[in-house]
Amino acid sequence: MKRLKRWLPLMVMTVIASVGFAASSKMTCTKTGKQIDKCCCEIKNGKFYCKLTKETYDKCCCKGM
């Protein structure tokens, strides 16, 4: 029981830090440099269409997450 009491605060802090990091992670559009919550690209006619720049690209322009 004493061993559990000693490790419990460490486990709780680890879980809180993990959840906080996951919630704060954002993506960046490499074409505009803006930070976004979710990918700004969608596939149209086999290419990636960026909703921010309103242009099509061969690769997704979002990085991160």
- 29, 36 in Cβ contact below 8 A? yes
pLDDT in tens, 2-45: 565 666 565 556 555 454 444 457 899 999 999 999 999 999 99
- Residue 37 confidence (pLDDT): 93
CA distance 38 to 1: 44
- Residue 64 confidence (pLDDT): 86
Residue 1 has pLDDT above 60, yes or no: no
CA distance 49 to 17: 35
CA distance 49 to 16: 36
- Residue 9 confidence (pLDDT): 62
- Residue 25 confidence (pLDDT): 77
For the chain, give every domain's residue range.
Answer: 2-64
- 42, 51 in Cβ contact below 8 A? yes
Q: Is the pTM of this model over 0.85?
A: no
Q: Which helix (H) or strand (E) holds 22?
A: helix 2-24
